[in-house]
């Protein structure tokens, strides 16, 4: 009887230990991040940060679904294919992108971002992939016809953007007040509600708003330096050389031109 009891207890203990082992093994398999374990199947996953409020570069067309689409999104997947990586898109506020990259939460950023002195102090940038200009968006009944008419007005821009820097420089010679918003649609909404008088927006983005709203118009900003977009990576990251090589190939293959035709020249 004692032997039978001993054998029963031994089998029970072995069963419990086996169950615990299976549970621990499953936990370990799921504990890694996409960057560390980096696998979906056999492919490494790179996490790309973007701010999906910048049509036609990155945005959500709610009439068609919740997927983030646009010029930069297509570009990210093209680069991922060139490098043999899957790309996971992480949407966040624009002013959170660089800190997230520095903290290792992102592998790279494609978000209509222009290199500037402050950003270049903390991240590395790829070669340019798109050149653009900044413009004013105003309501047609605003009375604003040139940048000189901004005197005494409120100009809206996106927080931590190249447009915010431009507005600060312009305000040194034209007496207007700057107000920043987290996302571009907020800037436009506040202009329509007359909480701000004008907005500085990239030309490709501005065209989309003007085409959709006949109460808006674009005005040129004559004095500005050349502006271009580039891909941000962590300082010293080996991804920079890989991305530069992929961009060069995409340009030579005509793929970048195809993106411009798809998203910029035909943007609605």
pLDDT tens digits, one per residue of 152-173: 999 999 999 999 999 999 999 9
- Find out whether 8 and 70 touch, Cβ atoms under 8 Å: no
Would you say the CATH fold of 134-223 matches that of 45-131+228-264? yes
Residue 34 has pLDDT above 70, yes or no: no
Domain boundary assignment for the chain = 45-131+228-264, 134-223
* Nearest in space to 124 (alpha carbons), one of 100, 98, 104: 98
User: Predicted confidence band at 224 (pLDDT cuts at 50, 70, 90)?
Assistant: confident
Task: Please tell me which residue, 78 or 22, carries the higher pLDDT value.
Answer: 78
Average pLDDT of the segment spanning 51-66: 94
Residue 37 tokens read as 């374990």
* Nearest in space to 129 (alpha carbons), one of 56, 229, 248: 229
Residue 131 has pLDDT above 50, yes or no: yes
Residue 18 has pLDDT above 50, yes or no: no
Residue 23 has pLDDT above 70, yes or no: no
The CATH T-level fold of domain 45-131+228-264 is: D-Maltodextrin-Binding Protein; domain 2 (3.40.190)
Q: What is the pTM of this model?
A: 0.76
Average pLDDT of the segment spanning 34-61: 80
Average pLDDT of the segment spanning 44-48: 96
Residue 7 tokens read as 């054998």
What CATH architecture is 134-223?
A: 3-Layer(aba) Sandwich (3.40)
């Amino acid at each position: 009887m004692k032997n039978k009891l001993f054998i029963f207890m031994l089998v029970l203990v072995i069963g419990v230990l086996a169950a615990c082992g299976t549970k621990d093994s499953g936990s370990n398999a799921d504990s890694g991040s996409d960057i560390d374990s980096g696998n979906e199947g056999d492919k490494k996953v790179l996490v790309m940060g973007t701010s999906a409020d910048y049509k036609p570069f990155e945005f959500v067309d709610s009439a068609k679904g919740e997927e983030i689409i646009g010029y930069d999104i297509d570009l990210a997947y093209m680069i991922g294919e060139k490098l043999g990586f899957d790309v996971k898109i992480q949407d966040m506020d624009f002013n959170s992108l660089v800190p997230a990259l520095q903290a290792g939460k992102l592998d790279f950023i494609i978000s209509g971002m222009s290199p500037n002195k402050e950003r270049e102090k903390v991240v590395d940038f790829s070669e340019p992939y798109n050149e653009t200009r900044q413009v004013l968006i105003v309501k047609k009944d605003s009375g604003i016809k040139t940048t000189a008419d901004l005197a005494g007005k409120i100009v809206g821009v996106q927080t931590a953007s190249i447009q915010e820097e431009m507005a600060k420089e312009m305000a040194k010679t034209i007496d207007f007040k700057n107000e920043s918003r987290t996302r571009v649609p907020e800037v436009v909404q506040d202009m329509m509600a007359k909480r701000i008088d004008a907005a500085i927006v990239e030309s490709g983005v501005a065209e989309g708003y003007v085409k959709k709203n006949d109460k808006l118009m674009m005005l040129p900003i004559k004095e500005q330096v050349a502006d271009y977009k580039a891909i941000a990576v962590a300082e010293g990251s080996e991804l920079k050389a890989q991305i530069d090589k992929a961009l060069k190939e995409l340009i030579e293959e005509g793929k970048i031109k195809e993106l411009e035709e798809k998203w910029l020249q035909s943007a609605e």
